[in-house]
Amino acid sequence: MARTRSPGSSGYLVFLIPGLVLSVAIVVVPLLMTIGTSFTRWQGVGTPVWIGLDNYVRLAHDPSFWASFQHIALLIIAMAIVPTLIGLVLAAVLFDFVAVAFGNRIAGVFRSGFYLPQILPVAISGVVWGWILHPSYGALNSLLAGAGVPSLAHNWLGDPRYALYSVMAIMIWMQIGYPIVVFMAGLQRIDPELYEAAAIDGATWRQRFTAISVHLLKPEIYVVLVTTTIAALKIFGQIFVLTRGGPGTATLVPSYFAYKSFFEKAEVGYGSAMSTVLTLIILMLTLVFLRLQARGERLR
Amino acid sequence: MTAGAGHHYRRGWVRHAVLVGLVIALLLTISPFLVVAINAVKTPADYAAHGPIALPQSLSLTGIVEFWQRVDFTRKLLNSLVVSGTVAVLGVALSVLNAYALGIGKVRGRIWFLFVFLAANLLPQEAVVYPLYYLSKSLHLYNSLTAVIIIFTVIQSAFGTYLLSSVYDHFPREILEAAEIDGAGRWRILVRIVVPLSWQTVSVLFAFFFIWTWNEFFLPLVFLISNENQTVPVALGVLQGQRFMDATTTSASALIGILPAVVFFLIFQRTLIRGVTAGAVK
């Protein structure tokens, strides 16, 4: 088939049709339905009843709603901020100390080891930790008893005073590998001569770390912070397996709140309102991030 | 290399202190895996007598075998393989088609299309779950692998479209123009030139889609309610707190959940690390 069309941009739209049709059917229409449902009272059967903004007013007065976003704020610290900070230090140490002093192979072994928790399905890491932290037969409490400090043993996930902090610790463990891998890859871009020049000028490791590594890794830091923050906002599997949001509402999060409203309480309108709020927050974060990224690219 | 950055670390004790610190951190990171492994191969009596920290007295696979048969784990593995494999293939195909139109074709409004795809991937799944649940029931697709495959194909390809479009943005125009002059149509150019030349990124996407879909929990939990349709994470996740899940059974279940993930990691390791990097700088 000999076609002698000049290279233009016509005729490509046809390739987009399957993707667009499927996206509209699976994402756009359901999303609009959820937003619409959020203005109704509906139990999943029968006809939804239009109630305007009542669900949103109810959310604003629901302590569980505020609690779930407070928990998310702490989970953002555990999933985004702490892993980014620790990841920066570990990546820099592995890149310009371990790799230099002991070789790339050893640095690679450390990187893979720290990355290991990342490869587990979240539900499986929930199973692992649920068992380790189990109050009666868990490994942690018997380790503490064996070390002669049984008074430190707690019902880690079952006591509302500790449950959220336990989940936070688990999340740090899970997340740490991702920033390390991204930052170590980013550090490859840095011109080794820059480091050497700094070393010759007598810069300490800390000065090089803050002045060179952190500065040049800014694009990666943005990406890691935004993707992990969004992951924290969406957290579900770990909570479902570890605590089901409990005890009480001690570890309740927005997505589990919505899940319960949909499938346990049959309050579909209310769950839809919660989902809509969460969606708006994530979309706003994405927009801010895209703008920052575009500005960063223009500056470079 | 001139003076070498290494000369700063000539003080032996700093070197070793840092290394020891790193080794301790690494051991802490992998200790949960070790604890699970040593307890999964204990007998309940051994566990009761010596606790979770001691090494097993003898190697016993009965806990694993019993759990495997009890939950029909072979079936769960097959379900997960079918869902993840199909989603990876279809998701890559859809991403390539979308990215061809957006990255190389530069169709009008491409920025908006890209934003929609990005948003579709970042959206919390609970924002679409109830309508999809409702619609799939009325289409008799509820509690079927098909529904899960279709949904994840779209969600994963949304990310693939975003990543692959930015790669195709920089696709060498000369090659495309030369092929057009030779009389190749759009399809032929896509299949014979664009896909082979971007095979690296495409294989990264395949690995990502496979593993991400394998790890998914929320939608499979909602859509696959019967035992014979469950995927591995759903089956293991919902069993927590069941009466028969004692200490050794739980660690056995954790171990057989970990093993496939480790196998995939070993298979895809290099592709994945390359991919995490590519995803970050785009």
Tell me if chain B has a CB within 8 Å of the CB of A69: no
Chain A with chain B: Cβ pairs closer than 8 A: 306
Partner-chain contact A19 B35, CB within 8 Å: no
Q: What one-character-per-residue DSSP string does B92-153 give?
A: HHHHHHHHIIIIIS--TTHHHHHHHHHHHHHS-THHHHHHHHHHHHHTT-TTSHHHHHHHHH
Q: What one-character-per-residue DSSP string does A131-178 give?
A: HHT-TTT-HHHHHHHHTT-GGG---TTTSTTTHHHHHHHHHHHHHTHH
Average pLDDT of chain A to the nearest whole number: 87
- Look up the ipTM and state it: 0.86
Tell me if chain B has a CB within 8 Å of the CB of A60: no
pLDDT of A271 above 90? yes
Distance between B213 CA and the closest CA of chain A, angstroms: 9
Question: What is the reported pLDDT for B6?
Answer: 45
User: Which of B108, B118, B280 has the CB atom closest to A182's CB atom?
Assistant: B280
- If you search the block for the tokens 């003080």, which residue do you land on? B11
Q: What is the phi/psi pair of residue A50, to 5°?
A: -65, 125
CA A230 to chain centre: 5
- Amino acid present at A295: R
Contacts of A159 (CB under 8 A, 6+ apart): A247
Question: What is the reported pLDDT for A188?
Answer: 82
Residues of B in contact with A178 (CB under 8 A): 276
Question: What is the reported pLDDT for B217?
Answer: 93
Residue A41 lies in a domain: no
Q: A207-262: per-residue pLDDT in tens?
A: 888 888 888 888 888 889 988 999 999 999 999 999 988 888 999 999 999 999 99
- If you search the block for the tokens 């970990």, which residue do you land on? B258
Domain limits at A276? 49-299
CA distances from A156 to A134, A142, A159, B201 (A): 7, 13, 6, 43
Q: What is the C-alpha separation between B123 and B143, in angstroms, rounded?
A: 23
Q: Which fold has domain B73-239?
A: MetI-like fold (1.10.3720)
Q: What is the C-alpha separation between B256 and B40, in angstroms, rounded?
A: 9
Map out the domains of chain B as residue ranges: 5-64, 73-239
List all residues of chain B from 54 to 93 with a beta carbon under 8 Å from chain A.
none
Tell me the residue ranges of DSSP E strands in chain B.
none
Partner-chain contact A146 B269, CB within 8 Å: no
Partner-chain contact A15 B97, CB within 8 Å: yes
Q: What is the C-alpha separation between B69 and B71, in angstroms, rounded?
A: 6
Q: What is the C-alpha separation between B207 and B189, in angstroms, rounded?
A: 24
Residues of B in contact with A223 (CB under 8 A): 279-281
Tell me if chain B has a CB within 8 Å of the CB of A55: no
Higher pLDDT, B260 or A99: B260
Other Cβ atoms less than 10 A from the Cβ of B11: the count is 9
| Residue A59, SS3 per DSSP | helix
Q: What is the C-alpha separation between B92 and B98, in angstroms, rounded?
A: 10
A12, burial (CB in 10 Å: exposed 0-12, middle 13-18, buried 19+): buried
In this prediction, residue A298 has a pLDDT band, given cuts at 50, 70 and 90, of low
Residue A37 lies in a domain: no
Q: A135-187: per-residue pLDDT in tens?
A: 887 888 888 888 888 778 888 888 889 999 999 999 999 999 999 988 988 88
Note down pLDDT in tens along chain B; length 282 residues.
Answer: 334 444 444 567 777 888 899 999 999 999 999 888 888 888 888 887 887 877 888 888 888 888 898 889 999 999 999 999 999 999 999 999 999 999 888 888 888 888 888 888 889 999 999 999 999 999 999 999 999 999 999 999 998 998 898 888 888 888 888 888 888 888 888 888 888 888 888 888 898 899 999 999 999 999 998 889 999 999 988 887 676 777 888 888 889 999 998 898 888 877 776 666 655 544
| Residue B23, SS3 per DSSP | helix
Q: What is the C-alpha separation between B106 and B206, in angstroms, rounded?
A: 24
In contact, A167 and A244? CB cutoff 8 Å: no
- Amino acid present at A300: R
Distance between B53 CA and the closest CA of chain A, angstroms: 7
Residue A6 lies in a domain: no
Single out the residue of A182, A122, A111, A235 nearest to residue B211, CA to CA.
A122
Element of type H or E holding B179: helix B173-181
Q: What is the phi/psi pair of residue A247, to 5°?
A: -70, 145
Q: A158-169: per-residue pLDDT in tens?
A: 888 999 999 999
CA B19 to chain centre: 31
Higher pLDDT, A43 or B54: A43
Partner-chain contact B29 A138, CB within 8 Å: no
- A24, A90, A137, A235, best to mutate vs chain B, most B CBs in 10 Å: A137
Tell me if chain A has a CB within 8 Å of the CB of B109: no
Strand partners, B270: none
Domains in chain A: how many in total?
1
Q: What is the C-alpha separation between A299 and A247, in angstroms, rounded?
A: 49
| Residue B43, SS3 per DSSP | coil
Q: A49-94: per-residue pLDDT in tens?
A: 999 899 999 999 999 999 999 999 999 999 999 999 999 999 988 9
Question: What is the reported pLDDT for A7?
Answer: 45
Partner-chain contact B128 A233, CB within 8 Å: no
Domain with residue A69: its CATH number is: 1.10.3720.10
